[in-house]
Each structure stands twice: as C-alpha cells, then as structure tokens.
Amino acid sequence: MAIFDVYQAGKFAATGVFVDGSISNAASTAAGQRPLIDHFGRHITYLRLSVTDRCDLRCVYCMKARPDFLPKSELLTLEELTQLSDAFIRRGVTKIRVTGGEPLVRRDVMTLIENLGTRLSTTGLEEICLTTNATQLPRFARDLVAAGVKRINVSLDTLDAATFARLTRGGRIADTLAGIDAADAAGLKIKINTVALKDDNEHSLRELIAWAHGRGFDLTLIEIMPLGEVDAARSDQFLSLAQVKADLEKGWTLTPLTDNTGGPARYHRVEETGGRLGLITPLTENFCAGCNRVRLTCTGQLYMCLGRNGRLDLRAALREGGLDAVDALLDEAMALKPQAHDFDVSAGAEAAVGRTMAHTGG
C-alpha cells in the first residue's frame, strides 16, 4: 500500500512511495481523459462533494456540542467547486452527491447545484444527489427539482420528538418532517438514512422502517463509524446491524435483493411492508471491495477513503497549477487509494481519523 502526504507548494511531498521502495510515476503521466481506475481495478465513478462543514443540527455521533467550524475563508469558492467537479466528470465520474455538514445552509449553494445540473445533458454526468437533514427543504425542494436533482437522502434517526431533540441537541423533528413533506410534494425520490444507535433508537427502528415504507420511502440503516472526537464513546453508541437484522427477522421476512444504487448499501425487501431496506455495515461486514467513490471536502482535500487519513490537496493544485495539476493529482489518487478502511469501535479504541463526518462530508 502506498504511503502519501499532501500536495503542497506546487510539488508532491512524499507521494507515491510504495512498500517495496519503488516510486509511482503517476504524477508524470501525460494528462488526458482517462478513466479513474485505482490499482485494485476499481472504477471511481462517484464523487461525494462537501460544500460546508456547518450544520443547523448538532447530532451526537457527528460532532461535538460546540464544534469548531472552519473559517469561511478556507472554503472552496462555488466556482472552484464547479471547476473541480468538471475535472472529475472529465475523468469518468457519473454521479455527484452534494453533502456537508448540511449543504443547504451554505449561502448561494443552489448556484453550484444549478451549474452541475447543466452538465447532466452535456457531459457524462448522469446524476446529482443530495444528503440533507431536510430542515431547509421547504425553501429549496422545488429549486432542487428544477436544477435536475431527482433523489435525496434524508438523515432521520427517530420519530420521537424528545429523542430527536436529544440526538440533535435541540433540533425540532417538526422541521425535518416538514422538509420531507416538501420534498415529497416536489417529486423528489426520498431515502431515509438512519444511524443505528445502541439504547437511543435500537428499540424503535422497526417503527421507523414501517413509517418510511408506508410513505413510499426506502430506508437505509448505517452502523456508526469512528470518525472524529465526539462527546461520547463509540463503543457505547455502536449497534451491530447483524443484531438488528436478526431482531427484525423475528417478525418480518427480509428477502435479499441485487439492487445497487451506486453506494455501499446492501438491500432487502421487507415482505410485510413491501418496502426496501438497505444495510451499510462498515464494522460487521466490510463493503470496501466494491468501493467506487472518493470524497472532496469543502476545503478541497481529496480523501480516497472515509476511514483513512491520507489526502491530496486539490485546492492547492487548482490555485497553483490549474486543471493540469488537478488532473495529475487525480492520477496520484488512484495509485494511492487504499484497499479498505480500518474502523474499530471496541472499548478504548481511538477514532479511526481525527476529522468528523461533518468535516469530511457525509
């Protein structure tokens, strides 16, 4: 596996050094419209694009109660976000998911989404998606549809107002439900994302799934991931989806499906509800073998793996060397993308990486 650092001051620093001592020549490869294929043969066609680390909620598994948000001066401009998106599209990315933090709290974010929407009919970009907590959707749902967004993921961990307020540190579930209603009315296809949390929602997951399926929404359960320091021990929060699945099967029939929406979820049909249930299991059943995605933070840091610290600085590349430098760095990224993450939520284990999910991009 390659060991790498960050692109700085117009040159690569300690990049492309392999365990056998050989040096990668990816940086010197002539720029071109080559597909993004890592050295495990995986085609990278999916970019998760963070536009802000800020959020109007403070979920207990995502950030501290008083997070240290980045200065706005460090963020990529909307123009730079568009330029970097275009660089990925030229290299074969067909799906871009706009994330945060909460992406819709960024000022003028619809300018970026509308710009990306124009690429849907003129480039190889096939889909623009959004992950959101839904609080801003009454304002933006129809604009998202007009820009070409067809699908959104909504983070929702409980239907109980008191539990919701506690998990989000003061959020109002009425705001999220109003946003879901607005998105549904606007014609957006909605998938509910639920982090399975021991004690907090493990006994109400069946109710939440039934509600989502009753509304015609898919729901995906996600095991908690050890990202960043939050005000709780990950071992206290972790709930195995193997255990959840076994509990659900005591009253429901879960039929495995071959459906693939481009992400890591493995899907089942719940015969009793008629709905689709996804399971994302980074801890109990590693899904890295089919990884097709990379993540770009709002400061331009390219992470090839959610659970690793290695990154490449596309902001510096763009500002100091232009799109040719970005293109060369994408070649480096493919040589350096790790085979798998290294998550561990056992008691006493440290977070896999220091950055939070809000900083990385959800």
Q: What is the DSSP letter of 207?
A: H
- Taking CA atoms, 354 is separated from 42, 101, 226, in Å, by 26, 16, 9
Is 251 known as a binding-site position?
Answer: no
Is 303 known as a binding-site position?
Answer: no
- Tokens read off for 210: 């039934």
333, 304 contact by CB (below 8 A): yes
User: How far is it between the farthest Cα atoms of the chain?
Assistant: 59
Distance, in Å, from the CA atom of 195 to the CA atom of 282, rounded to the nearest integer, reads: 12
Distance, in Å, from the CA atom of 246 to the CA atom of 304, rounded to the nearest integer, reads: 33
Residue 111 identity:
T
Q: What are phi and psi of 280, to 5 degrees?
A: -110, 115
Is 305 known as a binding-site position?
Answer: yes
Is 58 known as a binding-site position?
Answer: no
- Tokens read off for 231: 């005000």
Is 270 known as a binding-site position?
Answer: no
Is 129 known as a binding-site position?
Answer: no
252 CB neighbour count, 10 Å cutoff: 18
**Dihedral angle at the C-alpha atoms of 169, 193, 222, 38, nearest 10 degrees?**
-120
Is 142 known as a binding-site position?
Answer: no
Is 55 known as a binding-site position?
Answer: yes
Is 298 known as a binding-site position?
Answer: no
- Tokens read off for 343: 């998550």
58, 170 contact by CB (below 8 A): yes
254 CB neighbour count, 10 Å cutoff: 16
Is 294 known as a binding-site position?
Answer: yes
Distance, in Å, from the CA atom of 287 to the CA atom of 81, rounded to the nearest integer, reads: 28
Is 311 known as a binding-site position?
Answer: no
- Taking CA atoms, 128 is separated from 50, 89, 99, 142, in Å, by 13, 12, 11, 15
Is 293 known as a binding-site position?
Answer: yes
Is 131 known as a binding-site position?
Answer: yes
Binding positions are: 48, 55, 59, 61-62, 97, 101, 131, 155, 191, 225, 288, 291, 293-295, 305
Binding positions for S-adenosyl-L-methionine are: 61, 101, 155, 225
Binding positions for GTP are: 48, 97, 131, 191, 293-295
Binding positions for [4Fe-4S] cluster are: 55, 59, 62, 288, 291, 305
